[in-house]
Structure 1
Amino acid sequence: MGIGKFLTGVTLATGVGLAAYFTLTKQDPRTWAKHISQQAQTTVDQVDDIKVAKDRLADKAQALNTAVTAATPVIDDIQSEVEKFAFKVAPRVDIIEETVSRWDNL
């Protein structure tokens, strides 16, 4: 069996199947074709929307990465200043804790 006969058979079977489908469901082939076309266009639009959303997400992820990289030195500086403050305040905190402890023991 040649490829030509196979393609002819497939085409005829598809045509007969569609004709039977239209007859049984009482649909107009033009209306069905328009509906299929609209569904295809909707799917294409949704795929485009997904691509745009993916690109936006990639851009935002890159911007976040850049912001985190830029913020790292600032966070390190803040941590250093907190440690210096804690070192300077530690003796006063110790005195306050001793005073509160003495009050609790009275």
Structure 2
Amino acid sequence: MGKFSKGILFGAVVGAASGLLFAPRSGKATRQKFVDELEDWSDLKDDFNDKLDQFKESAQALQATADMYIEPFIDGINQDVENFMFQAEPRLDQIQEQVEKIQSELPKLPTED
């Protein structure tokens, strides 16, 4: 444990002890207040842990859902791209042939030297 952590812990203990010793309440009332505060903090800790567990479960469910849908989605996109390329390549070849035919049939223009 680092020096800072030890200092914080020591300060908390000294502060709590001082508060108990110099409190304007009676010892019984101070002890009851202390017990009530501990119970409140315990309840808060339990609530926090419950919410954290719910968050973890939600995150795991989200991850499972993503794993279930993302890979098939990517596979589908890749298949669509392959299908497009399969259909587009013959058409591009036909267009290139037409361009070459048009260029061969155009009269040659004289070049200026």
Using structure 2 for the length normalisation, give the TM-score: 0.55
1:55 equivalent in structure 2: 57
CA distance in 2, matches of 1:30, 1:79: 72
Cα offset, 1:88, TM superposition: 4.1
Q: How does 1:94-105 map to 2 (within 5 A)?
A: 95=99
1:34 equivalent in structure 2: 36
2:69 equivalent in structure 1: 67
Letter in 2 for 1:67: Y
Cα-Cα RMSD: 3.0
CA distance in 1, matches of 2:56, 2:20: 40
Using structure 1 for the length normalisation, give the TM-score: 0.58
* Count of aligned pairs between the two proteins: 81
Cα offset, 1:70, TM superposition: 2.4
Q: Secondary structure at the match of 2:22?
A: helix
Higher relative contact order (CA 8 A, sep 6+): 2
TM superposition outliers: structure 1 runs of 4+ over 3 Å? 91-95
CA distance in 2, matches of 1:25, 1:81: 81
**Unaligned residue ranges in structure 1 (runs of 5+):** 1-16, 96-106
